[in-house]
Amino acid sequence: MITDHRAPDNPLIFVNAAFEQVTGYRREEVLGRSWRFLQSSEADPGAVASIEAALTEGRSITNDLQSVRKNGEVFWNRLHVMPLISEAGATAFHLTMHADLTAEQDKKDAEPRFRGVHEQPDAATERARRAKAVARAAGAWEWDVPGERLYADARFAELYGISASAAASGLPTQAFFDPVHPADRMRLRIAVAGIMHGADIFSKDYRIINPDGSVRWVSARGKTGRDHDQKLVRFEGILTDITEQKRVEEQLRIIQTAGGVGTFEYVSGFGTVVVSEQFCRLLGLHTSEALPVRTINSVVHPDDPPLIGGPDDNRVGESSYQEFRVVQPETGEIRWLGRRGERRDDGHILGVRFIGVIYDVTAAKEAEEKLRQFAETLESRVRERTKERDRVWNNSRDLLAVLGEDGVFRSVSPSWTAVLGHRPGDLIGRHVLDLVHPDDAGMTRAALETVVQGRGLTNFETRYLHKDGSSRWTSWHTSHEDGLVFAYGRDVTEVKARTEDLRRAEEQLGQAQKMEAMGQLTGGIAHDFNNLLQVVYGNLNLIRRKPENPDRVRRWAENGLQAAERGAKLTAQLLAFSRAQKLELRPVAVGALLRGLEDMLKRTLGHMVRVNLDLMDDGVGVFADPTQLEMAVLNLAINARDAMPEGGSLTIETRLCSIAHDAELAPGDYLELRIIDNGVGMSPEVLARAFDPFFTTKGVGKGTGLGLSQVYGMVRQAGGSTRITSTVGHGTTVSLVLCLAELTTATPIQGDHAGADRAAAGSATVLVVDDDQDVRCFLTSSLTALGYRVVEAADGSAALTALDDFVPDLLLVDFAMPGMNGAQVATAARDKRPDLPIIFASGYADTAEIDGVGVGTTVLRKPFKIEELEAAVATALART
């Protein structure tokens, strides 16, 4: 504890955790109380008086005093009191160390119990009962060596965790070793064997394992007894509980290590010093319990006084502080150590005992040296720093300024003249907004408020007015301190101009890339379209040359239609890639759809490719356009066939999967449609470009490179994702991850639906709107042949006029038209006729605009057959 002798009654101002454990008092209960509050009423008045005298005289003293714990328990307390001396040499405080000596006192009290324990068990038991009332009492034991029996009192039995009555009645001598910790048992057996064979002293500390599993440290001190023939007859001793002492020793060791404090004790005239483990570490020496004085002093720097045995080490009672350097023996590193201690005179026999501590003060010495150097050079550095600041201010090419929180300039650097043409003297006292471009004044005012609130600006760009009236872009950084705004700005006008030039160049590059893509498109599909046109052109010529042969005309017409359908599919691929085609997404029974494709796949892929279907139940549905999904599967199957020139196996399977983290998909459950082949596979370079438009590994004229791009576009529009895995020589797997959908029962439109309503067709009027005369003629002729009345319009304006004049039952309108497009015509028509059914006939359509028209609309993709036109018109009229 630490007490303040300058305050009345020398009160406590600090106690450590060990004080709380020994006394039972909490820190807040004792601070401010007199140091005497622990004294027992039975305390020796002489001892108290000697302590009082030492406190008054400012000297150290050690004395044993009976003290009282908080619970009323009396214990022997060894007080070591020493003054703490200030730098001025006066006593500042008193440090008192308390040591619980009850165990030692109990050993003295227990000496009479050494003899006759087994001869008078009842008396021994009574003495043990009384001893048990004394806290931390020692226990006594006695071996009957010839009889090989162990007798002990109740305290011994308690420490060993055995029955007191059994210990008093006698136990086999093996019981002395049974509860001993296994790590200490052999050491204890050797010590007992030693004293049995003539050793003079038995003194061992060891651990006992109690029945509850707890461990306690005990200290055993004993001696042997012999008869008149010098025959060994007994081995007796005292056992003391030293668990708390061991715990304190361990705490002290940890404290020394953690705090970097080493302890030592030296008696003048001796050649060795008792030291701690941390003491050895600080000197760079191997750990030892004692070191020679000359070894310790050998590591001290030659220019410094010795650590031990100096001229002042014989001055009794002085508490000295000394700093010295040590040279680490192994590394040669020089460290500063501080030494503090006290010298005590233990009599003429022992001489002066020097007890103290050492600790590393290198960091403090280095800081002290730096502070000294700093103080010596402060003035010159301040002068130099001022010059540097002025040099930066005057020579800076950036705009430097100091403003008040009101936005008024307090100071500006000369660079304002070079950058903006304003002299510094002309700007002092003006508001910053006077120089800001009018269009940027609002955001500059808001930025100034932000800075005043304590949030600095970084790369805040705004335009400032040059003296000649032009504007310059400036990037600002600010800080706010002591009611002032410190700002520096950099002219970024040229940087902004270069950035704009770069943006234009990137746009031009993008345009060039688009043109290159168009070139790739032209080269890739021109051959296919020429073949298709050749078939259509040739068959139409044959029909014109031989119109009188019906069979040949029918065959030639079929050939031409097939070629046109191939062209329509190629166009659909292009539109799907561009995502400009409107998909008719609806729940699709994916199992039934794939089984329906099985025969077509087998015919298309040929006999060298084995087709396997591993599908889930037909009751599982996905959101998709069934036509586009069929086309995607067919394209992927054809790609797989091309990757298996020698034949192979194609597997189509469906599985449910759960997605947790994906860049393209929301978390949830999906259906995975996988097309698996065992073909040649793809290299990593080819795999990386597999979805790129127009990219193909096929020869010229054998593919456009749009197949996988079409698949990707279709699946993404349906809310899914596409993945590819491939290994060269082992095949490829393409996975289509599709959104699940609940299948609904719907009544399909029968093929003869239009025929059933043919009677109604004669009374229905269709307004046909298309800017292409040939297409309009085809639509008019087809609808007239189907029995409908037809009104034609070449553009949107004519269509709106016809709505008023003819009151049609159905509007059939092209989407892409000059002036008003189909969606705009349909919207205007709905304003006049909200219930008018509308069919969009187009190969390219903006999905968002068509969806905006509302319900009651149908999309009929070009090109289409007359049968598809008939079904669409009949369905729209039937819905009405």
Convert the pLDDT of each residue in 169-219 to its tens digit.
999 999 999 999 999 999 999 989 988 888 777 889 999 998 888 899 999
- What average pLDDT does range 393-407 have in this prediction? 87
Q: What is the C-alpha to C-alpha distance for residues 751 and 760, in angstroms, rounded to an integer?
A: 17
368 vs 729 pLDDT, higher one: 729
Among candidates 664, 639, 504, which has minimal Cα distance to 573? 639
Please report the pLDDT score of residue 318 as a whole number.
Answer: 56
Query: By three-state DSSP, how is residue 353 classified?
Result: strand
Alpha carbon 265 to chain centroid, angstroms: 52
Please report the pLDDT score of residue 176 as a whole number.
Answer: 93
Burial 477-492 (b: 16+ CB within 10 A, else e): ebebeeeebbbbbbbb
Among candidates 307, 375, 354, which has minimal Cα distance to 335? 307
Please report the pLDDT score of residue 109 as a whole number.
Answer: 54
Q: What is the C-alpha to C-alpha distance for residues 510 and 532, in angstroms, rounded to an integer?
A: 32
Convert the pLDDT of each residue in 39-79 to its tens digit.
988 888 888 888 888 888 888 888 888 899 998 888 888 88
Half-sphere exposure of 441 (CA within 13 A, CB side): 9
Q: What is the C-alpha to C-alpha distance for residues 97 and 731, in angstroms, rounded to an integer?
A: 84
Residue type, 666: A
Please report the pLDDT score of residue 740 as a whole number.
Answer: 92
- In the chain, the percentage of residues whose pLDDT exceeds 70 is 81
Please report the pLDDT score of residue 509 as a whole number.
Answer: 61
Among candidates 73, 47, 72, which has minimal Cα distance to 62? 47
Find out whether 231 and 206 touch, Cβ atoms under 8 Å.
no
Please report the pLDDT score of residue 626 as a whole number.
Answer: 84
The DSSP secondary-structure symbol of 307 reads: S
Please report the pLDDT score of residue 121 as a whole number.
Answer: 42
- In the chain, the percentage of residues whose pLDDT exceeds 90 is 20
Please report the pLDDT score of residue 639 as a whole number.
Answer: 85
Does the structure show a pLDDT above 90 at 788? yes
Half-sphere exposure of 514 (CA within 13 A, CB side): 7
Burial 330-352 (b: 16+ CB within 10 A, else e): eeeeebbbbbebbbbeeeeeeeb
Confidence of residue 397 (pLDDT cuts 50, 70, 90): confident
- Angle 550-578/707-717 helices, nearest 10 degrees? 60
Alpha carbon 411 to chain centroid, angstroms: 46
Convert the pLDDT of each residue in 471-482 to its tens digit.
899 999 998 888
DSSP output for 5-74: TTSTT-BEEE--HHHHHHH---HHHHTTSBGGGGB-TTS-HHHHHHHHHHHHHT--EEEEEEEE-TTS-E
Among candidates 327, 302, 301, 306, which has minimal Cα distance to 264? 306
Helix (H) or strand (E) holding 156: helix 154-160
Q: What is the C-alpha to C-alpha distance for residues 13 and 770, in angstroms, rounded to an integer?
A: 102
Among candidates 628, 607, 861, which has minimal Cα distance to 738? 628
Please report the pLDDT score of residue 130 as a whole number.
Answer: 40
Q: What is the C-alpha to C-alpha distance for residues 722 and 708, in angstroms, rounded to an integer?
A: 9
Find out whether 43 and 66 touch, Cβ atoms under 8 Å.
yes
622 vs 17 pLDDT, higher one: 622
Helix (H) or strand (E) holding 798: helix 796-806
Scanning the structure block, which residue is given the tokens 């990707």?
712
Please report the pLDDT score of residue 183 as a whole number.
Answer: 92
Alpha carbon 869 to chain centroid, angstroms: 61
Tokens of 675: 């097309």
Among candidates 641, 646, 683, 672, which has minimal Cα distance to 734? 672
Find out whether 413 and 402 touch, Cβ atoms under 8 Å.
no
* Burial group, residue 5, by CB count within 10 angstroms (0-12, 13-18, 19+): middle
- What average pLDDT does range 663-689 have in this prediction? 87
Convert the pLDDT of each residue in 287-309 to its tens digit.
888 899 899 999 999 999 898 87
Does the structure show a pLDDT above 60 at 383? yes
Does the structure show a pLDDT above 50 at 541? yes
Convert the pLDDT of each residue in 802-811 to its tens digit.
988 888 999 9
Does the structure show a pLDDT above 50 at 700? no
Convert the pLDDT of each residue in 454-464 to its tens digit.
888 888 999 99
Q: What is the C-alpha to C-alpha distance for residues 153 and 167, in angstroms, rounded to an integer?
A: 7
Q: What is the C-alpha to C-alpha distance for residues 822 and 767, in angstroms, rounded to an integer?
A: 13
Point out the least confidently predicted range of 45-54, 710-719, 756-765: 756-765
- What average pLDDT does range 254-282 have in this prediction? 83
Convert the pLDDT of each residue in 333-360 to its tens digit.
899 998 888 877 765 455 678 888 888 8
Residue ranges of the alpha helices (H) in 453-549? 493-545
Q: In whole numbers, what is the pLDDT of the chain averaged over residues?
A: 81
Point out the least confidently predicted range of 294-298, 335-339, 424-428, 518-522: 518-522
Please report the pLDDT score of residue 142 as a whole number.
Answer: 92
Does the structure show a pLDDT above 90 at 738? yes
Tokens of 775: 């297409």
